[in-house]
Amino acid sequence: MFETEDQLMAVFDTAIADSGLWLGLPGRRTFLMDEVEGIHGRVDRMMVSLPSSLRPTKTRSQLLQQETCCRIIVALRARQPKVLAQLAVDTGRSRETIRFWLSRMTDADLVRVTSTGSYILGPKSDLPDCEIWCFEGKLRDWKRALYQATRYRAFAHRSFVVMPDDLIQPAERQVDRFRLARVGLMSLDADGRFRMITKPRSQLPRSPVMFTMAQGRALACIA
């Protein structure tokens, strides 16, 4: 049916928009990102749903792709100032590194400096209402696919393994392992027909930092 994973995911790209999985809702912009790197390995496909009215700037989206910036965003609050030394402790970064990125985040209004020299979240630090689903395609190695899809739960609301319909039987026999990991399992045939073996419930991403980075990647696509 499929000779390579690239062939599998090419059919996936064509079929997903017409399936019941597509996050196409009124007032939302939904799009598919492929081969997303640098968050937790390389994600085969990442489906993102954002408010249609969102107009992010290029600078903001670039900063939100930097892990240190995301750590700062997560560590700060709008009304609880923190000094540089405390931010270094909270983020696990050196003071020099924190100072470097704080300067750029302040220029972008992601961070604001108080009258006492402390830092709080800036007026443009609010992140959008964002839904992220990840899909890992594999021909046969379902154990590796499950491992990778489980890692994607750090920044995704739902994570799925996609396999050819004629090769999915070994994984299907282990469906309880997918349910335990809260990872979806679905098959796809050459005509683009999906079969859902198990679908996970939507849940908050495990890592606020990784989720913020993933949002930065998504915002860069529409900035």
Q: Beta-carbon neighbour count of residue 45 at 10 Å?
A: 20
Cα separation of 118 and 136, whole Å? 42
Cα separation of 200 and 198, whole Å? 7
Task: Say if residue 93's pLDDT is above 90.
Answer: yes
Q: What distances in angstroms separate CA 222 from CA 29, 32, 88, 180, one per listed residue?
A: 10, 12, 32, 35
Q: Beta-carbon neighbour count of residue 100 at 10 Å?
A: 13
Residue 141 backbone dihedrals phi, psi, to 5 degrees: -80, 75
- Decide which of 1.10.599.10, 3.30.2010.10, 3.40.50.300, 3.40.1350.10 is the CATH code for 5-51+129-198: 3.40.1350.10
Give the pLDDT mean for 75-89. 94
Q: H or E segment at 100?
A: helix 95-107
User: What residues pair up with 159 in beta bridges, in sequence order?
Assistant: 134
Are the C-beta atoms of residues 28 and 50 closer than 8 Å to each other?
yes
- What is the widest separation between alpha-carbon atoms in the chain? 65
Instruction: State the burial class of residue 84 (Cβ atoms within 10 Å of its Cβ: 0-12, 13-18, 19+).
Output: middle
User: With the C-alpha atoms ordered 214, 217, 222, 223, is the resulting torsion angle positive or negative?
Assistant: positive
pLDDT by residue (tens digit) across 4-62? 999 999 999 999 988 878 877 788 899 999 988 878 778 999 999 999 888 888 999 99
pLDDT band for position 189 (cuts 50, 70, 90): very high
pLDDT of residue 149: 97
pLDDT of residue 82: 96
Which positions ≥6 away from 220 have C-beta within 8 Å?
Answer: 58, 61, 62, 65
* Pick from 99-108, 124-133, 139-148, 176-185: least confident: 124-133
Give the pLDDT mean for 182-197. 96
CATH of domain 73-127: 1.10.10.10
User: With the C-alpha atoms ordered 75, 129, 222, 194, is the resulting torsion angle positive or negative?
Assistant: positive
Cα separation of 20 and 172, whole Å? 21
Segments making up each domain of the chain, as ranges:
5-51+129-198, 73-127
Same CATH fold, 73-127 and 5-51+129-198? no
pLDDT of residue 23: 76
Give the pLDDT mean for 178-206. 96
Which positions ≥6 away from 148 have C-beta within 8 Å?
Answer: 41, 136
Residue found under tokens 């992220």: 132
